[in-house]
Structure 1
Protein backbone atom coordinates (compact mmCIF):
# COMPACT_ATOMS: atom_id res chain seq x y z
CA UNK A 1 0.00 0.00 0.00
CA UNK A 2 1.48 3.32 -1.02
CA UNK A 3 2.04 5.80 1.78
CA UNK A 4 4.04 8.81 2.90
CA UNK A 5 5.19 7.46 6.27
CA UNK A 6 8.87 7.75 5.38
CA UNK A 7 8.37 11.31 4.15
CA UNK A 8 6.57 12.30 7.35
CA UNK A 9 9.07 10.51 9.57
CA UNK A 10 11.99 12.33 7.96
CA UNK A 11 10.29 15.73 7.73
CA UNK A 12 11.66 18.73 9.63
CA UNK A 13 8.74 18.58 12.05
CA UNK A 14 9.48 15.01 13.18
CA UNK A 15 13.00 13.99 11.99
CA UNK A 16 12.79 10.47 13.43
CA UNK A 17 14.70 7.29 12.76
CA UNK A 18 12.74 4.14 11.99
CA UNK A 19 13.63 2.89 15.46
CA UNK A 20 12.33 6.05 17.15
CA UNK A 21 9.03 5.88 15.26
CA UNK A 22 8.71 2.18 16.02
CA UNK A 23 9.25 2.82 19.74
CA UNK A 24 6.71 5.66 19.75
CA UNK A 25 4.12 3.39 18.12
CA UNK A 26 4.97 0.27 20.12
CA UNK A 27 6.00 -1.83 17.11
CA UNK A 28 9.26 -3.24 15.78
CA UNK A 29 11.57 -1.34 13.47
CA UNK A 30 10.98 -4.10 10.90
CA UNK A 31 7.27 -3.23 10.94
CA UNK A 32 8.13 0.37 10.04
CA UNK A 33 10.48 -0.85 7.29
CA UNK A 34 7.70 -3.01 5.87
CA UNK A 35 5.13 -0.18 5.93
CA UNK A 36 7.56 2.28 4.31
CA UNK A 37 8.23 -0.28 1.57
CA UNK A 38 4.52 -0.55 0.79
CA UNK A 39 3.62 -3.57 2.89
CA UNK A 40 0.12 -3.96 4.27
CA UNK A 41 -0.68 -3.12 7.84
CA UNK A 42 -3.63 -3.32 10.18
CA UNK A 43 -6.32 -0.67 10.42
CA UNK A 44 -5.39 -0.20 14.07
CA UNK A 45 -1.77 0.60 13.22
CA UNK A 46 -2.83 2.89 10.38
CA UNK A 47 -4.91 4.84 12.90
CA UNK A 48 -2.05 4.96 15.41
CA UNK A 49 0.30 6.26 12.72
CA UNK A 50 -2.22 8.87 11.56
CA UNK A 51 -2.81 10.00 15.16
CA UNK A 52 0.93 10.21 15.79
CA UNK A 53 1.42 12.45 12.74
CA UNK A 54 -1.88 14.28 13.43
CA UNK A 55 -3.26 13.57 9.96
CA UNK A 56 -6.27 11.82 8.48
CA UNK A 57 -5.32 8.24 7.45
CA UNK A 58 -6.39 9.05 3.89
CA UNK A 59 -3.66 11.69 3.76
CA UNK A 60 -1.01 9.08 4.62
CA UNK A 61 -2.20 5.79 3.12
CA UNK A 62 -3.60 5.29 -0.34
CA UNK A 63 -4.19 2.45 -2.76
CA UNK A 64 -2.76 2.48 -6.27
CA UNK A 65 -5.21 2.86 -9.12
CA UNK A 66 -8.34 3.28 -7.01
CA UNK A 67 -9.77 5.63 -9.62
CA UNK A 68 -9.19 3.12 -12.39
CA UNK A 69 -10.71 0.23 -10.48
CA UNK A 70 -13.84 2.22 -9.64
CA UNK A 71 -14.46 3.83 -13.02
CA UNK A 72 -16.50 2.11 -15.67
CA UNK A 73 -14.91 1.98 -19.09
CA UNK A 74 -16.24 4.60 -21.50
CA UNK A 75 -17.97 3.32 -24.58
CA UNK A 76 -17.02 4.81 -27.92
CA UNK A 77 -20.53 5.11 -29.27
CA UNK A 78 -20.97 8.31 -31.22
Structure 2
Protein backbone atom coordinates (compact mmCIF):
# COMPACT_ATOMS: atom_id res chain seq x y z
CA UNK A 1 0.00 0.00 0.00
CA UNK A 2 1.50 3.37 -0.97
CA UNK A 3 2.29 5.95 1.69
CA UNK A 4 -0.74 8.22 1.93
CA UNK A 5 0.53 10.41 4.74
CA UNK A 6 -0.31 14.02 3.85
CA UNK A 7 2.61 16.31 3.14
CA UNK A 8 3.12 19.05 5.73
CA UNK A 9 2.06 22.55 4.80
CA UNK A 10 4.64 25.30 4.35
CA UNK A 11 3.51 26.70 7.70
CA UNK A 12 4.14 23.34 9.39
CA UNK A 13 7.56 22.97 7.76
CA UNK A 14 8.51 26.49 8.82
CA UNK A 15 7.34 25.84 12.38
CA UNK A 16 9.25 22.56 12.65
CA UNK A 17 12.45 23.98 11.15
CA UNK A 18 12.28 27.12 13.28
CA UNK A 19 11.92 25.10 16.47
CA UNK A 20 14.73 22.71 15.47
CA UNK A 21 17.08 25.52 14.44
CA UNK A 22 16.38 27.35 17.70
CA UNK A 23 17.15 24.24 19.72
CA UNK A 24 20.35 23.60 17.73
CA UNK A 25 21.48 27.10 18.72
CA UNK A 26 20.53 26.29 22.33
CA UNK A 27 18.20 29.30 22.46
CA UNK A 28 15.05 29.62 24.50
CA UNK A 29 11.90 31.01 22.93
CA UNK A 30 12.39 34.08 25.11
CA UNK A 31 15.95 34.58 23.87
CA UNK A 32 15.09 34.16 20.20
CA UNK A 33 12.03 36.39 20.50
CA UNK A 34 14.13 39.10 22.11
CA UNK A 35 16.84 38.83 19.43
CA UNK A 36 14.24 38.95 16.63
CA UNK A 37 12.12 41.71 18.17
CA UNK A 38 8.91 39.69 18.41
CA UNK A 39 6.83 38.74 21.46
CA UNK A 40 7.58 35.33 22.98
CA UNK A 41 3.90 34.35 22.85
CA UNK A 42 3.89 35.13 19.11
CA UNK A 43 6.97 32.94 18.59
CA UNK A 44 5.30 30.12 20.49
CA UNK A 45 2.28 30.28 18.19
CA UNK A 46 4.54 30.34 15.11
CA UNK A 47 6.40 27.25 16.36
CA UNK A 48 3.08 25.47 16.90
CA UNK A 49 1.95 26.45 13.38
CA UNK A 50 -1.24 27.98 14.72
CA UNK A 51 -0.77 31.32 12.94
CA UNK A 52 0.60 32.57 9.66
CA UNK A 53 3.82 34.56 9.83
CA UNK A 54 4.66 37.61 7.75
CA UNK A 55 7.71 37.50 5.51
CA UNK A 56 9.23 40.33 7.56
CA UNK A 57 8.91 38.40 10.82
CA UNK A 58 10.17 35.21 9.15
CA UNK A 59 13.22 37.14 7.97
CA UNK A 60 13.79 38.62 11.43
CA UNK A 61 13.70 35.16 13.01
CA UNK A 62 16.05 33.70 10.39
CA UNK A 63 18.51 36.56 10.90
CA UNK A 64 18.35 36.16 14.68
CA UNK A 65 19.14 32.46 14.25
CA UNK A 66 21.88 33.16 11.73
CA UNK A 67 20.38 30.87 9.10
CA UNK A 68 19.19 31.64 5.56
CA UNK A 69 15.45 32.17 5.37
CA UNK A 70 15.14 29.48 2.71
CA UNK A 71 16.44 26.88 5.20
CA UNK A 72 13.37 27.46 7.35
CA UNK A 73 11.01 26.51 4.53
CA UNK A 74 13.08 23.59 3.17
CA UNK A 75 11.34 20.30 4.11
CA UNK A 76 14.70 18.51 3.94
CA UNK A 77 16.50 20.75 6.43
CA UNK A 78 16.88 19.94 10.11
CA UNK A 79 15.30 16.49 9.57
CA UNK A 80 15.71 14.06 12.44
CA UNK A 81 16.99 16.66 14.88
CA UNK A 82 14.20 16.46 17.43
TM-score with structure 1 length normalisation?
A: 0.67
Give 4+ residue runs of structure 1 displaced > 6 Å after superposition.
none
Among 3, 15, 30, the alignment partner of 2:41 is 30
Higher strand share: 1
Query: How many Å apart are 1:50 and its aligned residue?
Result: 1.6
CA distance, structure 2, for counterparts of residue 25 and residue 51 of structure 1: 8
Q: Is it true that 1:18 corresponds to 2:29 in the alignment?
A: yes
CA distance, structure 2, for counterparts of residue 55 and residue 32 of structure 1: 17
CA distance, structure 1, for counterparts of residue 73 and residue 47 of structure 2: 10
Q: Could you list the runs of 5+ residues in structure 1 that have no partner in the other structure?
A: 64-78
Matches within 5 A, 1:1-78: 1-2=11-12, 3=14, 4-11=17-24, 14-38=25-49, 39-61=51-73
